[in-house]
Homo-oligomer: A and B are copies of this chain.
Amino acid sequence: MRLAQRLDNVETSAIRELFKLLGKPGIISFAGGFPDAALFDVDGIREAVLAALEHEPGAALQYGATEGFDPLREQLAAFMAAKGVTGVAPADLIVTTGSQQALDLLGKTLISPGDTVIVEAPTFLATIQCFRLYGAQLLTVPVDGQGADVEVLQRLIAEHRPKFIYLIPTFGNPSGAMMSEARRRRVLELAVRTRTLVVEDDPYGDLYFDAPPPPSLLALSAQVPGSRECLVHCGSLSKVLSPGLRIGWMVAPPRLLAKATMCKQFSDAHTSTFAQATAAQYLAAGRMPATLARVRAIYAQRAQAMVQALRHELGAAIEFVPPRGGLFVWARLSGAGGACADGAELARRAIDHGVAFVPGAPFFARDPDRATLRLSFATVDEDRIREGVRRLARALRG
């Protein structure tokens, strides 16, 4: 069987191999990229699905419009408006099967083989693979504590005229970094000036710990003339409400949105109306603010526990910027005192010591920094986080 040529561009993730080891009894896993299922508002979702089946069983179970279930589009527009987004009507967004599908539709709609796309270094692994499947050549812009480096971005745009730029400006996976408001403005201005499309992926922005993050690029675009026409925004209910619903959405300029909708028609016809009607009822019921407050508080405690334990147990052997939201600590092994400075090597040793995490190298589309690692605190309670970090320290020492 001859496979399509596009498959030559990707490989099965090295991380998948690691995940097979996670079933080992007693292991403490910082490896997942998942929210904590114990925090899901099961009662709220039950009420929502019962309401959907009671009030609109036909709509909830029948085929629906490719663009999405209108009551959900209205709720999502209102959800964004409550976060400071102005001028985005329900018709300006389509519902996607998780925000992963938004990435896939962008790839399908925009990327011809050989096109250049700029992503952050590091960035979300499935983004790298998704865009490569459509034949993208990926260039990378480095990320520091303030987000993507806009100077480098500007130079790359000038040199390579990319098809688009893909950013996760707020608590991104894996970097956890929060792009400053100043840089956000500069990104939008740069997009307008160079007529470059910017894709903002924002699944984690709601998960801040103390103060809210700066406005999303979408919210900020109201203040930068012309930038809305250069901007795609991808949202998701997966990190707060439930990944199992597979509800994401995409805001894009009208022509692009129409073409992405056409592509979606031939990808999966539409996102589950059963899940969409449930999500619409959930949002309409007004339970989201309380759910958000609860998960923010718990993830904040877990993040703090991990940050303190890492400093206490690993000290100078590890460097990181404490996250201000999201699910991850992104760290770098300094090699201080001759300790291990290879994330993959440490990940292997860590399994033997009963703790798992994901090495950082695969998150780089090119020029991997092999000293990096991603630690998720999301699904582990504070005592286990401290124990896990102790095991990590033992693994590092030998």
Residues of A bordering B, CB below 8 Å: 1-7, 10, 12, 34-35, 37-38, 40, 42, 45-46, 49-50, 53, 57-64, 97-98, 100-101, 103-104, 108-112, 115, 126, 129-130, 133-134, 163, 197, 238, 242-246, 253, 255-256, 259, 262-263, 265-275, 277-278
Contact = CB atoms under 8 A, between A and B. Distances in A.
A280 to B, nearest CB: 13
A97 B269 CA distance: 9
B133 A266 contact: yes
A98 B278 contact: no
Contact of A110 (B3, B46, B110): B3
Number of copies: 2
Nearest to A255: B1
Contacts of A50: 46, 50
A263 B133 contact: yes
Contact of A1 (B37, B42, B256): B256
B242 A271 contact: no
B100 A267 contact: yes
Contacts of A278: 274
A305 to B, nearest CB: 22
Contact of A273 (B109, B244, B256, B262): B244
B40 A57 contact: yes
A111 B4 contact: yes
Contacts of A133: 108, 263, 266
Contacts of A253: 1
A272 B246 contact: yes
B63 A243 contact: yes
Contact of A245 (B100, B110, B268, B272): B272
Given A7-B259, A268-B100, A274-B275, A53 B42 contact: yes
A97 B316 CA distance: 47
A244 B269 contact: no
Most buried by B among A12, A37, A59, A244: A244
A193 B10 CA distance: 32
13 contacts: A2-B163, A10-B266, A40-B61, A45-B53, A49-B53, A63-B243, A63-B244, A100-B266, A101-B268, A104-B268, A126-B265, A242-B274, A244-B277
Contact of A246 (B35, B109, B269): B269
Of A50, A57, A126, the most chain B CB neighbours within 10 A belong to A57
A235 to B, nearest CB: 15
Contacts of A5: 112
Given A1-B256, A97-B268, A126-B266, A58 B46 contact: no
A130 B263 CA distance: 8
Contacts of A6: 108, 112
For the complex of A and B, list the 9 residue pairs with the smallest distance between their C-beta atoms, beginning with the closest: A244-B273, A130-B266, A37-B58, A61-B242, A97-B268, A61-B244, A246-B272, A37-B62, A63-B243
A269 B247 CA distance: 12
A129 to B, nearest CB: 5
Contacts of A274: 242, 244-246, 272, 274-275, 278
Contacts of A111: 4
Contacts of A275: 272, 274-275
A134 B40 contact: no
A58 B163 CA distance: 39
